[in-house]
């Protein structure tokens, strides 16, 4: 019954890679926490999001096997992020420009 | 007749697929479409966070300063560990090690429950300090009631994330009972693989929630 050849055609990732990714994610968590205590002004946000995006890439590529999958899978993932950025972009371009024509903002900041 | 239909285990291959491989790729792809929808679902919450933080960044810093960074960081490490054990669970299924699969699923569930217990401690702490939005909300310092919107976002986003964890733990119990009854093997492990994708996705949401809530107010000096 048990045929030895893998029927799924899936790439089996070596354990060593999973361990390295786990350690990298843990180190990046400690790093992002440490950087938060240093006052970099607005660049705190930049560093924070860059580290989060790096961690996400590691999880998606290795834990979620996107590095070894067909091209269709990254297309779906990137497509979702593109639509997300469209939502952020259009919504913020509305709220950030409301006071520009001198009529006063309909949503004043405290 | 297709030879694949006669050689594959009939209980695992649904009739609309030619082979187990095609069935697995279809299931994985469907799971990714679901996750794309989940990205946009959580995206609405991230959009709201962005808008309100842009409107009143000081209130967000003041609110963030009151969160306990030790709990936040511990929970991030706990979730990363659970993602690692989940990846190992999928690998165990791929390599037909069913005992290891059961062990890694149990470990994943253990880390998931640990996360929720720490979250419970944090929530009850907020409750005792009157930091839960509503008629009893009280926030000391110059921000006062302005900080309420930060806590609304905190509970909405971490609460929705925690709900995903609870659903995930329910699914995990279902997978575990299947694994104990010998339902999965290297030939058939679609549900394990798809659940793994869901679990890693929930981990990724937390990877963003942790800095956006716990780390933005670390050098806040208490003045607007």
Residue B12 maps to a domain? no
- Residues with Cβ within 8 Å of B113's Cβ and at least 6 positions away in sequence, in order, are B169
Residue B4 maps to a domain? no
Identify the pLDDT of residue A44. Answer: 93
Q: Report the distance separating Cα B173 and Cα B99, nearest Å.
A: 16
| pLDDT digits 0-9 by tens, B80-101 | 999 999 999 999 999 999 999 9
Residue B61 maps to a domain? yes
The pTM of this model reads 0.91
Q: Report the distance separating Cα B128 and Cα B224, nearest Å.
A: 25
Residue B84 maps to a domain? yes
Residues in chain B: 224
Is residue A73 less than 8 Å (CB to CB) from chain B?
yes
Q: Which of residues 7-66 of A touch B (CB under 8 A)?
A: 7-10, 12-13, 15, 18-19, 21-22, 25-26, 29-30, 32-33, 36-39, 44-45, 48-49, 51-52, 55-56, 59-60, 62-64
Domain count, chain B: 1
Chain centre distance of CA B155: 15
Q: Which domain holds residue B97?
A: 33-220
| pLDDT digits 0-9 by tens, B125-151 | 999 999 999 999 999 888 889 999 999
Structure tokens at A23: 């350690």
Least confident of B26-30, B74-78, B81-85: B26-30
| pLDDT digits 0-9 by tens, A29-76 | 999 999 999 989 889 999 999 999 999 999 999 999 999 988 999 999
Q: What is the CATH number of the domain that holds B151?
A: 1.20.120.80
Q: What is the mean pLDDT of residues B17-34?
A: 92
The CA–CA distances, whole Å, from A49 to A24, A86, B104, B171 equal: 16, 18, 31, 31
Q: What is the mean pLDDT of residues A92-99?
A: 87
Residue B80 maps to a domain? yes
Residue B42 maps to a domain? yes
pLDDT class for A9, splitting at 50, 70, 90?
A: low
Q: Report the distance separating Cα A47 and Cα B187, nearest Å.
A: 43
Residue B159 maps to a domain? yes
Residues B109 and B172: beta-carbon distance below 8 Å = yes
Q: Looking up tokens 């300063």, which residue turns up?
A: B65
Q: Kindly provide the ipTM of the predicted complex, given to two decimals.
A: 0.90
Q: CA nearest A54 in B: which residue? A: B207
């Amino acid at each position: 019954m048990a045929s030895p050849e893998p029927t799924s055609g899936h790439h089996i990732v070596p354990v060593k890679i999973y361990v390295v990714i786990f350690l990298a994610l843990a180190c990046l968590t400690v790093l992002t926490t440490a950087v938060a205590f240093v006052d970099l002004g607005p660049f705190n946000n930049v560093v924070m999001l860059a580290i989060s995006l790096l961690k996400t890439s590691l999880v998606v590529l290795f834990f979620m096997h996107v590095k070894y999958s067909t091209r269709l899978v990254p297309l779906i993932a990137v497509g979702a992020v593109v639509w997300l950025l469209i939502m952020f972009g259009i919504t913020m371009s509305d709220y950030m420009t409301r006071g520009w024509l001198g009529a006063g903002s309909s949503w004043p900041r405290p | 007749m297709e030879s694949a239909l006669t050689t594959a285990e009939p209980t695992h291959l649904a009739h609309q697929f030619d082979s187990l491989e095609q069935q697995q790729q279809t299931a994985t792809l469907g799971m990714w479409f679901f996750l794309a929808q989940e990205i946009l679902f959580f995206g609405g919450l991230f959009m709201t966070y962005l808008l309100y933080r842009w409107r009143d960044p000081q209130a967000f810093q003041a609110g963030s300063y009151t969160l306990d960074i030790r709990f936040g960081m511990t929970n991030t490490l706990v979730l990363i560990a659970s993602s690692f054990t989940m990846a190992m669970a999928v690998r165990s299924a791929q390599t037909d090690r069913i005992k290891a699969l059961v062990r890694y699923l149990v470990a994943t569930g253990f880390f998931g429950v640990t996360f929720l217990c720490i979250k419970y401690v944090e929530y009850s702490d907020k409750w005792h300090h009157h930091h839960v939005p509503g008629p009893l909300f009280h926030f000391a310092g110059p921000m006062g009631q302005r900080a309420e919107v930060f806590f609304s976002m905190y509970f909405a986003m971490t609460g929705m994330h925690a709900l995903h964890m609870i659903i995930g733990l329910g699914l995990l119990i279902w997978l575990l009972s299947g694994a104990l009854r010998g339902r999965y093997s290297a030939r058939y492990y679609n549900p394990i693989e798809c659940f793994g994708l869901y679990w890693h996705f929930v981990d990724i949401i937390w990877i963003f929630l942790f800095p956006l809530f716990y780390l933005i107010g670390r050098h806040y000096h208490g003045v607007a």
